[in-house]
Amino acid sequence: MFELMYEAKGVGLAANQVDLPFRLFVANLDGVPDEGEEMVFINPVISRPKGLDEAEEGCLSLPSLYGQVRRPKQVRVEAYTLDGDTFNEEISGIFSRVLQHETDHLDGVLFTDRLSATGKLEVQPRLEEFEVEFNSRRHVGEFSSDEDIAARLAEFETRYC
């Protein structure tokens, strides 16, 4: 996942963005291999939001699309690390924004869902372009059908849950 994140020039990547049915994400605030700290957050829970901050966000799932998103300035994050240790800290700044953004992915929320009404109107044409491209690529077999995805998830749940 880190390799894919770096290739896309990102600082965070959720498992469900790359077709992995796990509640985890990776992050490196520097977004460069061998620089910064590579972190893995398993089953993250965000609580105790404080303050508000608005900043531009983008997403590896929606290349070249950006918008102003309001989020809490500070949050508490509880998660497990790859080693099974507990991560439990108050986080602020860009780190807080990345953790909230990636946890949103795990909850099925995109940054575009958090845009203001005006912000949503501004990105709507580009979102429609993404939808047309997706449907076209799905039609030629580049992406799985909803039925195939549901069958894979059902098989996973039967096998591992």
| Catalytic residue ranges | 102
Any alpha helices (H) in the chain, and if so which ranges? 2-7, 93-106, 117-139, 146-160
Distance CA 133, CA 158 (A): 33
Give the other-Cβ count within 10 Å of 11's Cβ.
21
Can you tell me the distance from the alpha carbon of 93 to that of 146, in angstroms, rounded to the nearest whole number?
A: 37
33: CB partners within 8 A, 6+ apart: 2, 3, 6
How far is it, in rounded angstroms, from Cα 51 to Cα 41?
23
